[in-house]
Chain A
């Protein structure tokens, strides 16, 4: 068995500790039980010896104690002889007969005392007086003398408990019997003492055997358990761990899946199958992600081309009509997303008529851009055929409503300038009010009646208004990307700020005015993202 992981050591340490505690507990319980059983056995044997010794005491022996009387001496010698044989054959250490001398239980006189011939002690002589009975015995003597029902008293003495060499004998058990007269009074106490040397030996052997056996069993169990743990738990876990590590590093499918080497329906088997499945899922996911990213990059590239196409559709050559000295024109568009819904347009319908268009398709992105392309084309084509702005928008409206399932619409300001006179006919389909600056005045919004946005509903009739530009006047067209630019505090830029900004830059030529206005809007918006396309067109009229 190899200890190769921390887990193994931890688990086995736990098991060893648990086994050791169990082992100690078993030994201790066995030790106690064993001691109790042996003590009972010693007591029974001492008691039976005492009962036998009692039978030798003849009636009257105690009523006429006289050591000098030859008659009494004869009785005494006979009893002593029997007791000596009894002690030797029964294995008792002492058999003795004591009489209490006064009220307490400290002083006794020795009537008779015999000792096992093999015991290395000495006996008290008959007639001698014991002056201080050890305290450990006194309650037993008290019981014998005072308890009328007592047939015995038992004292167990362990030398280590007793704590002195006062008794030269080792661990022993003493059984005391009362010797009563005919009236039931206690005349003397018969004692039998047995050494418990055997108990010590047997017990020591027992404990040693138990410990040895359990230790051996423990070792065997540990080896078996460790082997089992290794085979069923640690080996598979290590395999799973190293596979997970490998996968994290290499991100490839394993040459051999875990489920082939780790079978079984337990949690380890489940874990192995789950890891297998997880690796497959992650691989699939990574492949999907790679594919999607590739596709997204492709779409992005196509969108970039679309942005370019859209930008190319708007006239971007400035000045657009260098041969025309009657007016100056400039326009910009900054889309919020790659392709936007705003557009502007300007073109000469004939030598004396310039069309100006600014428009904003609802929504953003590709759908808005597609709608914008259609709207721009339709307006330009329809305008080329002649007619008033209202007529042009009316036709375009009906064309755009046709098949407009997405519900997109476009706000348009369309104006046609008569270059020779400066007169402008305009139709405003839901678009922002244009701003006008007179030659010697300031910028102001030019408010005129609106019509709904183009493509909102079929058959709309558009209102038309007229105003005149005099030499030196300017016109500013814009989309809601300007008026509704929003800063981080969710405040709208608004037309009031726009007019103020226009007046700050009133003297700038057209090519400078629009970049200045863009900077003004950017300064207001600050760090907030640009939500809408920002589109502006400006025209300065110099006269026909």
Chain B
């Protein structure tokens, strides 16, 4: 998986490419770190093909951290398969998912 981070002030955009699964999820978790000082986190999934439950856990952890420091997190450009995963797992009710 490729992780591409762009920070503009307190806004952090993380573009993901490949598969977010058991093998790669710890990479993303380490890469995101504590998210200190970030008030707006955008996860761009335009080039992401798959999210497993381990990946969902990392997204959930990031969401909780953003909730904890009063920021917001948005998931963008998820493909149909990933959207279905969000739907099936009920994550569409937890995460803010944009087209």
Contacts and interface: CB of A to CB of B under 8 A. Distances in A.
A177 to B, nearest CB: 103
Interface in B26-80: 49-50, 52-54, 56-57, 60-61, 64
A362 interface: yes
Nearest to B67: A457
A155 interface: no
Question: Which of B53, B54, B61 has the largest count of A CB atoms less than 10 A from its CB?
Answer: B53
Contact of B90 (A360, A451, A492, A531): A451
Interface residues of A, number: 27
The DSSP consensus for interface residues of chain B is helix
Contacts of B90: 429-430, 450-453, 456
Interface of A: 341, 360-364, 407-409, 411, 429-433, 450-453, 456-457, 480, 484, 490, 492, 531-532
B91 A363 contact: no
The DSSP consensus for interface residues of chain A is loop
B94 A456 contact: yes
B91 A453 contact: yes
B56 A362 contact: yes
B98 interface: no
B53 A411 contact: yes
A364 B91 CA distance: 19
A452 B60 CA distance: 11
A527 to B, nearest CB: 17
Given A361-B53, A456-B90, 12 more contacts: A362-B57, A409-B60, A411-B53, A430-B91, A433-B88, A456-B94, A480-B52, A484-B50, A484-B52, A531-B21, A531-B52, A532-B22
B84 to A, nearest CB: 10
B88 A452 contact: no
B92 to A, nearest CB: 8
B89 interface: yes
Contacts of A408: 57
Contacts of B89: 411, 430-431, 450, 452-453
A182 to B, nearest CB: 114
A457 B53 contact: no
Contacts of A531: 21-22, 52
Contacts of A532: 22, 52
Contacts of B49: 490
Nearest to A454: B90
Question: Which of B52, B87, B89 has the largest count of A CB atoms less than 10 A from its CB?
Answer: B89
B54 A407 contact: no
B53 A363 contact: yes
B29 to A, nearest CB: 9
A415 B54 CA distance: 25
B57 A450 contact: no
9 contacts: A360-B53, A362-B56, A408-B57, A430-B90, A431-B89, A433-B88, A456-B94, A492-B81, A532-B22
A431 B56 CA distance: 13
A433 B87 CA distance: 11
Contact of A363 (B54, B64, B93): B54
